[in-house]
Structure 1
């Protein structure tokens, strides 16, 4: 049987989502441990830059879903994994608002 390989775009999308979440989590944990105010600014800059990079890649994945329907499931999984970072950021903001006040 021939193995169907995952498209590189969906693989990169899932990795990008994973590493974006990981980096944000590391910044949050570092702030919660140290309470260094610099990490708040770093986190905000990181969230904005991750939003731009992930947003551009999300648009590319959406175009891939439209034009390359053979692997639509793999692209949808990558899109969902990228969109799961949004509630994660909201949760982190709630955590910061609780601990920062």
Structure 2
């Protein structure tokens, strides 16, 4: 879990796929993945399949998702937006680490 400069907290988790959620309250509890307008609850942002398209992004291929912040020198700008964060997963089930 990490906090963006705009005050949103983000987390990535693995269920049937790698899911990304956000909230302004990191102590909020969630029992299922939902999209909500309540910024005090965890809200579904997307999954790796949503973001990257169809492919091998399900629980059968990836696990252990972790969000991280890039060093300032490594931040890229895409379409005028700075990409300060990354998501890392491993391929343990495929023996690729």
TM-score range relative to shorter protein:
under 0.3
More strand by share: 2
Max Rg structure:
1
- Relative to the length of structure 1, the TM-score reads 0.21
Q: Which has the higher contact order (CA 8 A, sep 6+)?
A: 1
More helix by share: 1
